[in-house]
Amino acid sequence: MADTSETAPEQPQLYLITPPEFDLLDFPGQLARVLDARAIACVRLALATRDEDRIGRAADACREVAHARDVPLVIDSHWMMVERHGLDGVHLGDGARSVRKIRAELGADAVVGAFCGVSRHDGMSAGEAGADYIAFGPVTEGLTGSGEVVSLDTFAWWSEVIEVPVVAEGRLTPDMVAALADKTDFFGIGDEIWTGDDPVAALNALVAVLD
């Protein structure tokens, strides 16, 4: 994940998040088609399983596809698998709590990102602890209409005050992409495109405003 503070393109970059479960025979091909269709800044392997053998095989398959296209691959939570599988870093889901420790373990060259929910305070703490980027989300309500969402004001404030790049993720819609286009550095895109038959078409429709 490149620092976007000075040399960034005007438009946010796209950060791809894998489905929580996928077929190892089919998904690498789907991933390749998406990476060939759009400029993607980073891919996050975000499997729900705790089976390290399955995660490792998925990491190897996705790494081959991503690295062939010079796209970095980070893994959700399993930082101990980064060096073992030749990955580029880790995405931590616990805010600022483990950033400093994992940064020390993986070194300065690894990507260390932190998901901070809706909390500006956690985001600032994670940035101070050495995170390369902060992710906030979700940006829209779920089907039940319950739970907190990140306000547009949070992204606007962050982009004006904080230099650490920020990712907007979680139930993105075309309208929300348009509203956040000048307030975020990256869009974290996952289930929004993987649930249908054509992830490339879904991605193009979701971010059409950026074109």
On whether the CB atoms of residues 58 and 28 are closer than 8 A, the answer is no
Among 177, 178, 196, residue whose Cα is nearest residue 15 = 177
The reply to whether 2 falls in a domain is no
The reply to whether 1 falls in a domain is no
The reply to whether 5 falls in a domain is no
**Is the per-residue pLDDT at 139 higher than 70?**
yes
Cα–Cα dist 61/45, whole Å: 11
Confidence (pLDDT) at 146: 59
Q: Residue 70: exposed, middle, or buried by beta-carbon count in 10 A (0-12, 13-18, 19+)?
A: exposed
Query: Which DSSP letter does residue 172 get?
Result: -
The reply to whether 135 falls in a domain is yes
Count CB atoms within 10 A of the CB of residue 175. 10
Number of domains in the chain: 1
The reply to whether 61 falls in a domain is yes
The reply to whether 4 falls in a domain is no
pLDDT in tens, 32-89: 999 999 999 999 999 999 999 999 999 999 999 999 999 999 999 999 999 999 999 9
The reply to whether 8 falls in a domain is no
Residue 31 belongs to domain spanning: 13-210
CATH number of the domain enclosing 187: 3.20.20.70
pLDDT in tens, 75-113: 999 999 999 999 999 999 999 999 999 999 999 999 999
pLDDT in tens, 153-211: 999 999 999 999 999 999 999 999 999 999 999 999 999 999 989 999 999 999 999 99
Secondary structure (DSSP) of 47-102:
-S---HHHHHHHHHHHHHHHHHTT--EEEES-GGGTTTTT--EEEESSTTTTHHHH
